[in-house]
Amino acid sequence: MSVVRRVFLSSTYKDLAELREIARKALDGMGHYVVRMENFPASSWAADDFCRARVQECDIFLGILGGCYVSCPPKSEISFTEREYLTAIELQKPCFMFLTDESFPSPII
């Protein structure tokens, strides 16, 4: 009997949408439930608080890092993706990080 784990998928979207979809399909195929921003509903919460609360609800954190460092919450110099990762570390969640190769194309944002 396999265990269904909740996996938080974190990355920038514009440059890594294709890799995010590949990761989602792989995790779905293993029977895990993937939590990702593409499925977040409209919310009255601040985006940063909402994302970090979703990390807290998950069993595993999976991050994909490319060449872009973009969106930051208001009054923060740390991106949403990095804040999600720091939340997972603080909560001692297992973290799996994947880095794109230097040759991976990054759009100019």
Would you say residue 59 lies in a domain?
A: yes
Q: Average of pLDDT values for 82-108?
A: 87
Give pLDDT, residue 78: 92
Would you say residue 1 lies in a domain?
A: no
Would you say residue 78 lies in a domain?
A: yes
Name the band, by pLDDT with cuts 50, 70 and 90, for residue 108.
low
Angstrom distance (rounded) from CA 82 to CA 79: 5
* Side-chain half-sphere exposure of 34, counting CA atoms within 13 A: 20
Would you say residue 104 lies in a domain?
A: no
Domain containing residue 84: 6-99
Would you say residue 105 lies in a domain?
A: no
Would you say residue 54 lies in a domain?
A: yes
What pLDDT, in 10s, does the model give residues 32-74? 999 998 888 788 888 889 999 999 999 999 999 887 777 888 8
Judging by beta carbons within 10 Å of its beta carbon (0-12, 13-18, 19+), is residue 4 exposed, middle or buried? exposed
CATH number at residue 40: 3.40.50.450
On whether the CB atoms of residues 93 and 59 are closer than 8 A, the answer is yes
Give me the number of domains the chain comprises: 1
Give pLDDT, residue 58: 97
Angstrom distance (rounded) from CA 72 to CA 66: 16
Q: Is the pLDDT of residue 28 over 90?
A: yes
